[in-house]
Amino acid sequence: MRRIALHTVMMLSMPALMAWAGGGASFARRPVGFSVLLLWVVWSFALALGRSTGQESQYERRQRPFLMIPGILLLSTLFAAPWEYRRFAGPIPRDGAVAWVGVLLLAIAAPLQIASVLALGRFYTRNLGIQPGHRLVTSGPYAIVRHPGYLSSFMLFLGTGLALSSVLGLLAAALTLPVTIYRIQGEENMLVDAFGDEYRRYAARTKRLFPLTY
């Protein structure tokens, strides 16, 4: 329980850390800054309050050393992107069309995260593992892609980098993608072992991460 509570506090504190790195009230008063903070609040609450720890599996234990990388990239994005936004005017212009494209991605990522949590319910867990009574969920956003939660996270990274015109944020987003694909491969191996042909049929009619492409 203590680990769960600590993880929840850490998730809910992320927007505050971002605001601090961006200069506090001055960051929140800018339209782009306020929009980014608001959407991070929604995303963080959905993930922190909707995700349980869950039962581990051999796949989770095998991947654990490698999976420190997403946490490092997340912290880098939280601090580096707003810091860069506050201190520099380029090379990507601040508060322009590119920034609002990033805000749009964040505005999609947040409800996608909520929809993913609601569709999976108690099966939406931090640890990768088959839970007691687990069933294959193919409704909601899972009818379109097999890993909408990971898609939401990637869009969060990319949207933040674009919205805050951050080269470091965009680099973090680029590095996140191969890590995400690696985790998906382990998860799908686990799901094939658990659900067999049911999961294979589901995989045959859906994309892994990006609608219509991959």
HEC sequence for 156-178: HHHHHHHHCCCHHHHHHHHHHHH
- Report how far apart, in Å, the C-alpha atoms of 104 and of each of 98, 114, 160, 173 are: 10, 16, 10, 16
pLDDT in tens, 52-62: 655 666 666 66
Which of 108, 12, 109 lies closest to 51, judged by CA? 12
Structural domains in the chain? 2-204 (1.20.120.1630)
Q: ∠8-4-64 over CA atoms, to 5°?
A: 100
Query: What is the reported pTM?
Result: 0.86
Tokens found for residue 212 = 């219509």
Q: Which uninterrupted H or E stretch holds 84? A: helix 68-87
Task: Find the radius of gyration of the CA atoms of the chain.
Answer: 18
Q: How confident is the model at residue 3 (pLDDT cuts 50, 70, 90)?
A: very low
pLDDT of residue 110: 93
